[in-house]
Amino acid sequence: MRVLSPKTVAEACAMLADSGGAAVPMAGCTDLLVHWPSNLAAHDRTYVDLTRVTDLRPVRWTDSHLELGALTTYWDIVTDARANREFPVLVAAARTVGAIQIQARGTWAGNIVNASPAADGVPALMACDATVVLASLARGGLTREEVRLDEFYQGYKQMRRRPDQLVEKIRVPRRSWAFSAFEKVGARRAQAITKVGAAVTRSDAAWRVVANSVAPTVRRCRAVERAIESGAAITRPEEFEPALRQDISPIDDIRSTAHYRGRVLARVLYFMLRGVAPGVT
Partner 1 sequence: MSRDEQHIDVHLTLNGREVSTRVPAQERLLDTLRYRLGLPGSKEGCAEGECGACTVYLDGLPVCSCLVPTFQASGRDVKTIEAIEPASLRPMLDSGATQCGACTPGVVMTACWVRDHREILRAHSVRELMAGNLCRCTGYDGIVDGIEKMLGGPGSKP
Q: Which residues bind partner 1 (CB under 8 A)?
A: 1-3, 5, 26, 29-30, 33-34, 36-38, 40, 44, 49, 51, 75, 79, 84, 95, 98-102, 104-105, 189-191
Nearest distance from residue 214's CB to partner 1, in Å? Answer: 24
Nearest distance from residue 159's CB to partner 1, in Å? Answer: 23
Closer Cβ to partner 1, 142 or 192, answer by number: 192
Closer Cβ to partner 1, 71 or 181, answer by number: 71
Strand, helix or coil for residue 194: coil
Nearest distance from residue 146's CB to partner 1, in Å? Answer: 29
Q: How far is CA 75 from CA 19, 43, 141, 221, 267, in A?
A: 32, 27, 33, 28, 29
Q: What angle do CA 151, 155, 157 make, to 5 degrees?
A: 100
Q: How far is CA 231 from CA 100, 211, 245, 255, 281, in A?
A: 40, 20, 19, 34, 11
Nearest distance from residue 116's CB to partner 1, in Å? Answer: 14
C-alpha–C-alpha distance, residues 241 and 256, integer Å: 18
**45 close to 74: Cβ distance less than 8 angstroms:** no
- Cβ neighbours of residue 58 under 8 Å, at least 6 residues apart? 69, 72
Closer Cβ to partner 1, 37 or 275, answer by number: 37
DSSP string, 32-52: HHHHTTTTGGGG-SEEEEGGG
Strand partners of residue 68? 59, 170
Closer Cβ to partner 1, 20 or 173, answer by number: 20
Nearest distance from residue 235's CB to partner 1, in Å? Answer: 34
Closer Cβ to partner 1, 49 or 67, answer by number: 49
Nearest distance from residue 191's CB to partner 1, in Å? Answer: 6
Closer Cβ to partner 1, 33 or 276, answer by number: 33
